[in-house]
Structures are given as structure tokens and as C-alpha cells.
Structure 1
Amino acid sequence: MDETEKSFHKFLLLWAGNFVSSVGSGLTSFGLGVYIFKQTGRASLMALVTLLAFLPSLLLSVPAGVLADRYDRRILMVLGDSLSALGLLYILLCLMQGEAQIWQICVGVTVSSVFASLLEPAYKSTITDLLTAEQFSKASGLVQLAGSAKYLLSPVLAGFLLGIADIRLLLIIDICTFFVTVSTTLVVRKGLTGRSVPVSSSMASELREGFRGLTEKKGVFLLAAMGSAITFCLGVVQTLASPMVLSFSNSTVLGTMMTVVALGMLVSSFILGSITIKKGYSRLLASSLFGAGVFMALFGLREDIIFISVSGFLFFAMLPFANTSIDYLIRTNVGNQIQGRVWGIIGLISQLGYVAAYAVSGILADYVFTPLLLPEGVLAGSVGKILGTGDGRGIGFLIVLAGLLLCATAVMLSGMKSIRGLEKRGVYEP
């Protein structure tokens, strides 16, 4: 077995740990969402918890990227994975004493998110350490397959477990997954040279260097900036899909539906993991995003669980192609020595859309769009004739609008020459 094959096998071991971690975090995410909605009936509070689980990791992703370039990336992954369990332990202890209050859940998910911020830049940079450029598209498909586990396996598993136990069991399982992921990371670390560099410059200067690495190619910076519009649309459907379905169904149906729609990501990730794409990434990006926008709009169109499941399946099927295209175009145009910093900055810029979606979508759904499409609402006689009226139809309307916005973003991306040019100017050297 040559060194390239050995490195890919190490990547597969690291990926397996990430897969287990994804299943565990999906259990917690699904369980907390159902718990909060049953306690309050408000989409805005579900969105608040989602925001607090996301925002600290986003804000800390840039300094975490600097650390990933300074120090051993595998040790950072171990620390992030282990310490993030503290927030879950806090929520579990609160539940052991009775019902957890919303503010207690908020504290727990925030603490977990702070330490989880160490993971993403270190993990993405480690993939570059292990693989050659020709293996990136295959690895990206597998990484997205692991990420899809939280949508594919976790909801149906959580729905079953909630039928025989309560959310405390889900938290315990999630906490236990940290032992698996930490072990696989330590095993992979044994075969790699530690990345600890002399700290001869300040964090501010290293951040400036990372920002220069991001902006020296206009197309890379535009991908990060346009990513904000993309993640805003995705954040809307992520936040509102559960309350929309729960408005006319139950948690068991929701869990089954989420598993079915995540099969789309599974199928696409398997395809990407078994083939090698050599060119056409910019066209693939635009077309897959446009398709995702169309199916997102259809997702919110009707209160029909079969129609929603099919639309959601096709929506999820588009995402791995878009993610792989973005990943390849950035990874091959940024030098490995600064990738930790660049990925951290890109994460901050591109995922600001999630912050905006999590902050406003629940409020808009509860206080603006839902009243508009109640039977006596202002839009009941117009939009209501197409979408229907009722408690969840305002949420559906908001998801439709987000899907149309994603289509418009895809059209804009297709016309940007600087993004198409990234396929001709890669700088990566294995």
C-alpha cells in the first residue's frame, strides 16, 4: 500500500468518527427542537436556541482558524469535541431535576458551541493535510455523507427513542459519542507530524495574512460573500421545516419525513464519493443551487406529507453537489499553510446568512406570516388560495420566498466570470 492509499485510509478513520458525532448531535438537535415546541408552541423560541447553538462557533471560527494553522490540528479537534460535551451535561443535569427552562437550554447549547468552534477549521485543514487534490471531490462527498447522518439516521432514531424514553436518553447517547470521535482522532494523529509552529507574530497579523489569502483572488472572496445569501435561504428552511410539519402532524411523522428527505443527500453523497469530477465545478454550483431553490419553494407549497417529503428529498439531493463545488473551488485556490485561517474567515462571512435566518425567521413566522395566512388573514383571499390557510401556511409561504431567493442567487453566480476562472487558476500542490 503506497502513502496515498495510507493517507486516504486515515481520512476514512477520521471520517468514521465524524459520522458517529454527527448522529449524536442530530439526536440532540431533534430532541431539543421537539421538546421546546411542545413546551411553548413557538417557532421563534426554537429559532433562538438554534441561533445560540450556532452563533458562538461562527464568531470564534476565525481565531480557531488561526489556532489550526499554529498548533496540532488533531489536538484541537480532540479538545473541541471533548469540552463541547460540558454544555450537554449541563442540560442533562437540569432535566434530571425536572423540566429544563428555556434559559437553561440556551446556556447549555451556547457553552457547547463555544468549544465546538475549534473543530471545523482544524477538521477541514486536516483533510488537506491527508489527501491529494485528486481526492478532494471524493472526500467532500464522504464528508457530506457524514454530515447528512444527523438528518438521515438521527430523526427516525430519535423518534423511536422518544417513544420509549425521553430527551435525557438522547443527550446521554450524544455525550457518549464523544469518546468514539476522540479515539479515532487520536489514532489518526499517531501517523501524522504535529503542526506546532513558532508563535512569532500576533494573532492580528496572522488574521490579516489569512484575509489576504481570501481576497487575493476575487472569485474566492465572492464565493464567501455569496455564501451568506445561500446560507440565509438554507437557514430559513432548517428553522421552519419542523414547526411547519408539527403544525398539522406529530413528532413521529416529522422524524420519518426528515429521514426520507435526507435520503436525497445520502444518494448524492454516495455518487460524489464514488466518482471523480475533473471540471465544470462552477456550472455544477449554479445549476445545483437553482434546483435546490425550486425544490425548497415546492417544500413549502402544500400541507401534504408525501409532497413535502418528495420535494425535500430533491432539495437535499442538490446540496452535496453545491457544497462539493464550493469546497473544491476554494480548497484548490488557497495555499495549505494558511487554510486554517482562510476557512475560519470564510466560515464567518458565508455563514452570517444563518445568523440572520435564525434571528428573524421564527419572529417573522410567528408574528408576520402566520397571521397573514390564517383563515381571516389579509392574504387569505389571494396567496391563501394557492398555499391554503391555517397555522402552518404562513411558515410555508416564508419557505417559498426563501426558495425563490436561492434561485435568484444561483442565476447571479452563473454570470460571475471571476468564479468560473477559479477552475483555471488553482494553486494547491500536494
Structure 2
Amino acid sequence: MPPDTQPTSLRTFLIIWSGQMASILGSEMTNFAITIWAWEQTGQATPLSLLFFFTYTPRIIAASFAGLIVDRGNRKQLMIAGDTVAGLSTIAILLLFLSNHLQIWHLYVTTAMNGLFGYLQNLAYSASMTMIVPKQHYTRATAMSSYVTYSGSYIIAPALAGVLYYTIGLTGVLAIDLMTFVMAISTILCVSIPQPTRKSTSIAHQTLWQQFTFGFRYLLKRPSLLAILIFWLSFNLVDTVSLALGPAMILARSSNDATVLATVRSAIGVGGIVGAIALSVWGGSQRRIHGLLLGTALTSLSKMIIGLGRVPLSWMIAGFGAGVFAPAIDSSNQAIWLSKVEPDVQGRVFASRYLIAQITSPLGLAIAGPLADYVFEPAMSSNGRLSSIFGGVFGIGAGAGMALQYTIFCFCGALIGLGGYAFPSLRDVETIVPDHDAEQGQGGRV
């Protein structure tokens, strides 16, 4: 990237970030309201886990071609397209609900569309970070975009949606969501997002097959970057189970009290804000791999306490702890990748990264609900085969089986985080792989 294209301030980033903050707030309100609506309709964990499944699976499919689109296309237009499709999906849900035709499968379709175009938007945004954020602010900006945004929404959205759902209904929540999409698109339209300069080995000189496989070949030439993805491949399998199971578990153990779920979600958000602000001020550890591995372990251990707890206060305290440690994970991970991968190929490399790292996520999301409904919940009922063993810890009855399942998978996540230190190629990635702006032909182009 030529020197004159180097960003010198966070102005453009902050404008975009403010719009995305509003959009995510609206989306999280809608997601919370839809979760309550789906639980009221079914009372089972499987439909809720399938909502996650249909959100994440299209993203993984899109990762096979999205990188090429982002590197060839206009990243600003892709970000606008992502917000536009999300707004249209909300309109579709609103119209179906108003006509009394909304069904669970409609939510699967709309979440799949949001997942697909939302991934394109996020990839375009992620690949644009080096063009709008100075290098010394990578960790800080990632913490803000990934955690101040989402954690802030986690604080406000559940509380607002929990109240508004029972006052203005799902219709009102969806209407608010639409207004936030307009705000997000407006902020993107009013800024300039530079396109990276293509080098002599740009995609214009490659065959179609070379373009599609570029990201994978790039990673194969850098085993330490591949080691990060193997780490994520393992962790995402167990983490997505707890992700999909959390809302149903808390609703079941709180007698379907949406206020309790909102409170726990808000506590996680408060923790995320505290952690993200601390990370934004601090800037992160010089060895970012510690933030990735230790953050994973500590977040998983905190989530274990949620599974072990039986009252809202314990869930809130543990959720706050999980939120505090979580920003270190993605912020450190993203800072490593932004430093190591050249800006003009980040779209393809980041898409391949996502595909490899997330390929086990649909499996975790698909098995979470059925395991809860047909294995763990019956096993922890009053006459269940596991109730005599674990009943003293998790209790017996509704939600106890999900709590046991949740705790087991969170414990596995903690082991994976700490186990990463046993592999030098992962532990020493920052010294093994040179920064892209210091690399002088090492590793070459693929």
C-alpha cells in the first residue's frame, strides 16, 4: 500500500462505527424479540438452535467465494448491500407477522439471507480496516467494532426489547430495527472508503481457479497462520453448542422469564463493554497470542459457572466475567491477521480463513438442540439415568440437562484455549510470520 494511502486518524472508522452501533442495536433487539416469540411458540431448544444454524451456515458457504467478490468489488457498496438486505428481511418478517402468517420456517429463511449478505458486509468491513485505521490502532479499533458495539447492544437491546415486546409488541421492535438500518446506511454513504492498490500479481492476471484457491494456497505457505485456524476449528465446534443452547437453558431454568434472560444478556454486555474499553485504552498485550489463548480459556471457564449456577445472580456474575475476557479473543486474533496479511489480498485470505475456522460450527449448532431435547434433558429428569450422578450439582427437571451439556462443552473450550500453548507454531506465530509491511518477498506470492 503506497504511503499516501496510509490512514492517519480514526475519523472515517468512527463515523462508520457509529452507524453500525445503531444497526447492531436494532438487530439485537429484533433477535431477542424473535427468540422469545419462537420459545413461546415451541418451548423447545431445537428451533432456537436452528435459528443460529441458519444464520451461520450460509456464511460458511459464502466464504468459498466472498473473498473474490470483496477483493474485486467496491467494498463500500458491499457494506451498503449488506445493510439493505438486512432491512428487507426485517420488512418481510414484519409483513408476515402483521398478516398472521409468520411461522418458524420463515425465520430460518430470513436469518439465512441475513447470514449470507451480513457475511459479505462484515468481510468488506474487515478487509477495509487497514485502509481506514492506522496500524497502531488495530487492536483498539477491533475491540471497538467487535465488542464495544456488540456488548453495548447486549446491554441495551435485551432490556429494551424485553420491555417493548410486551408493550408495543414484535411489530414495534421490528419498526425500530428498520430505522437503525437507515442510520447505518447513511453513515456509510457520507464517508470515503479507499480501495487497496492492486499489485502486479493482482487477480486480473490469474485464472479463475487461481482466484478461488488463492486464500487457501496463501495459508498453506504459512503454517503458523494455519495453526490459528486449526485452533479455531476445534474451539468453534464446542463453543457453538453453548452459543445455541444458552437462551433456551436460561429460559427453561427461570420458568420462561424473559426478564431474567434479558438481565443475563445485559450482564454479559456490561462485561464486554468493560473489557473492550480496558482493551481500547490499554491497546492489548505486545504478544497478541496471549489475548487469543488466555482469553479463550478464561471466557470458557466463566461460562462454565453459568452452567453450574441455578439462580439469576450467579448467571449475571458469570456472564459479566465471560464478557470481560471475551474482547481479548477476537481483538488479538484480528490484530495478528491485519498485521500479517497484505491489504490487497485480505478479502480472499480472510474468506478462506473464515471457511476453515468455521466449518465445524454448523455441526455444533445442529447437534446442540437435539442433544438437549432428546439426550441430556431426559437424562436429567426425575427418573433419568444421569440425575442420580449430577442431580446434586445441576438439579433435576427442566433445564438441568441443558445446564450439564452447556458446562461440559464450556470445559472443553477452556482445555482447547490452554492447550494451544503446547504447539510452538501457534504459540510463536507472531515471530514466525513477518508483518506484511516488513516482508521482503518472504513466503512469496501464490
- TM > 0.5 between the two? yes
- What does residue 289 of structure 2 align with? 282
Offset of 1:6 from its aligned partner? Answer: 5.2
Offset of 1:300 from its aligned partner? Answer: 0.4
- What does residue 47 of structure 1 align with? 49
Offset of 1:288 from its aligned partner? Answer: 1.7
Contact 1:61 1:121 in 2 (8 A): no
2:40 to 33, 38, 41: 38
In the aligned structure 2, how far is the partner of 1:418 from the partner of 1:287? 17
In the aligned structure 2, how far is the partner of 1:229 from the partner of 1:198? 32
Change over 3 Å in CA distance of 1:26–1:202 after alignment to 2: farther
- Structure 1 residues 2-11 or 363-372, which shifts more? 2-11
2:316 to 309, 323, 333: 309
Contact 1:87 1:110 in 2 (8 A): no
SS in 2 for 1:296: helix
Task: Please tell me the residue identity of whatever aligns with 2:209.
Answer: A
1:251-262 matches, cutoff 5 A? 251-262=258-269
- What does residue 428 of structure 1 align with? 436
Task: Please tell me the residue identity of whatever aligns with 2:104.
Answer: I
- What does residue 441 of structure 2 align with? none
Contact 2:253 2:400 in 1 (8 A): no
Offset of 1:212 from its aligned partner? Answer: 1.9
In the aligned structure 2, how far is the partner of 1:198 from the partner of 1:287? 38
- What does residue 153 of structure 1 align with? 156
- Does residue 168 (structure 1) correspond to residue 171 (structure 2)? The answer is yes
Task: Please tell me the residue identity of whatever aligns with 2:236.
Answer: T
1:233-382 matches, cutoff 5 A? 233-249=238-254, 250-277=257-284, 279-382=286-389
Offset of 1:428 from its aligned partner? Answer: 2.6
SS in 2 for 1:100: coil
Q: What is the CA deviation profile of residues 349-368 of structure 1, one whole-angstrom value per residue up to 9, with x for unaligned ones? A: 21233312211101100110
Aligned length: 428
In the aligned structure 1, how far is the partner of 2:374 from the partner of 2:48? 14
- What does residue 408 of structure 1 align with? 415
SS in 2 for 1:390: coil
Task: Please tell me the residue identity of whatever aligns with 2:362.
Answer: V
Change over 3 Å in CA distance of 1:411–1:6 after alignment to 2: closer
Q: If the length of structure 2 is used for normalisation, what is the TM-score?
A: 0.91
Task: Please tell me the residue identity of whatever aligns with 2:328.
Answer: F
Q: What is the CA deviation profile of residues 152-191 of structure 1, one whole-angstrom value per residue up to 9, with x for unaligned ones? A: 22111111111212112222222222211111112222x6
In the aligned structure 2, how far is the partner of 1:292 from the partner of 1:203? 41
- Does residue 69 (structure 1) correspond to residue 71 (structure 2)? The answer is yes
Contact 1:77 1:122 in 2 (8 A): yes
1:118-267 matches, cutoff 5 A? 118-144=120-146, 145-189=148-192, 192-193=194-195, 199-249=204-254, 250-267=257-274
Offset of 1:90 from its aligned partner? Answer: 1.5
Contact 1:302 1:388 in 2 (8 A): no
Contact 1:290 1:411 in 2 (8 A): yes
Offset of 1:41 from its aligned partner? Answer: 0.3
Identity of aligned residues (%): 25
Q: What is the CA deviation profile of residues 332-374 of structure 1, one whole-angstrom value per residue up to 9, with x for unaligned ones? A: 2211111111111111221233312211101100110000111
Contact 1:279 1:423 in 2 (8 A): no
Change over 3 Å in CA distance of 1:37–1:278 after alignment to 2: closer
Task: Please tell me the residue identity of whatever aligns with 1:164.
Answer: T
Offset of 1:85 from its aligned partner? Answer: 2.2
Task: Please tell me the residue identity of whatever aligns with 2:106.
Answer: Q
SS in 1 for 2:225: helix
Task: Please tell me the residue identity of whatever aligns with 1:147.
Answer: Y
Alignment RMSD (CA, Å)? 2.1
- Structure 1 residues 71-80 or 227-236, which shifts more? 227-236
Change over 3 Å in CA distance of 1:202–1:60 after alignment to 2: farther
Offset of 1:132 from its aligned partner? Answer: 2.7
Offset of 1:202 from its aligned partner? Answer: 4.4
Q: If the length of structure 1 is used for normalisation, what is the TM-score?
A: 0.94
Offset of 1:292 from its aligned partner? Answer: 1.5
Contact 2:284 2:332 in 1 (8 A): no
Task: Please tell me the residue identity of whatever aligns with 1:392.
Answer: G
Change over 3 Å in CA distance of 1:72–1:7 after alignment to 2: farther
Change over 3 Å in CA distance of 1:347–1:272 after alignment to 2: same
Contact 1:213 1:338 in 2 (8 A): no
